[in-house]
A = this chain, B = another copy of it.
Amino acid sequence: MTIIYSLDLIGTFAFALSGALVAERKTFDIFGVVIIAFVTAVGGGMLRDVLIDAHPINWIGDLNYMWIIASAVVVMYLFKSKIAPWAKTFFIFDTIGLGVFTLIGVEKALNYGLNPVPAVIMGMITACFGGVIRDVLTNQVPLIFKKEIYASACLLGGIVYLLGRLMDLPENIQAISAVGVVILIRSVSVKYKLELPKIKGDLLSRKS
């Protein structure tokens, strides 16, 4: 689907840009910035492809990812002090990326014969583990383990996609509803500062 592919590239750009900004703030040199932009953008899909044995893996099989990442790095250096006012736009792109990456991940995993449950997990890995690899390489506890509803949005989006397939809905509807759920949950959760609960004490007792 051409629209999905376009959205995939837009999401890649947004993820690469956010990775480049993180690395730049950590005073990495150009090489470090490129690597962090790279893993943020394609790390999740790369991990998915290695785990499901889909070769050539994403950025080896399609060079467009690399040109997109390179241009995101250039844009970051050219405009970094002027990016702040665009934060909302980038948030939208980033969130679209999250949804589309989830969709692509689940679909590819199903095409490679995975069961629905691991396929949904692959959708989440595709969307979220670029950020995990970025955080590991910059020596931080991955953000999504602590306070992002990010990953849950992707898991839910993946489940919606599965249901759409199961109910044999038209492909467009499947895609739009899955991506839409991710975008909706992410937007609402950021707007209202929702977080997943940290469960205190035992679930079975009042004390402790």
Residues of chain A touching chain B, judged by Cβ–Cβ distance below 8 Å, are 23-24, 26-32, 35-36, 46, 50-53, 55-57, 59-60, 63, 66, 77-82, 113-115, 117-118, 132, 136-142, 144-147, 151-152, 195-199, 201-205, 207-208
**Residues in B whose Cβ lies below 8 Å from that of A132:** 137
**Residues in B whose Cβ lies below 8 Å from that of A145:** 23, 28-29, 31-32, 35-36, 137
Q: How many chain copies?
A: 3
Known: A140-B139, A145-B28. A80 touches B202 (CB 8 A): yes
B29/A81 in contact, CB under 8 A: no
Q: Give the complex CA separation of A44 and B68 in angstroms.
A: 25
B136/A137 in contact, CB under 8 A: yes
Q: Can you list 12 contacts pairing A with B, beta carbon distance less than 8 Å?
A: A24-B199, A27-B146, A29-B146, A29-B147, A29-B198, A31-B145, A36-B145, A53-B55, A60-B118, A66-B117, A66-B118, A78-B203
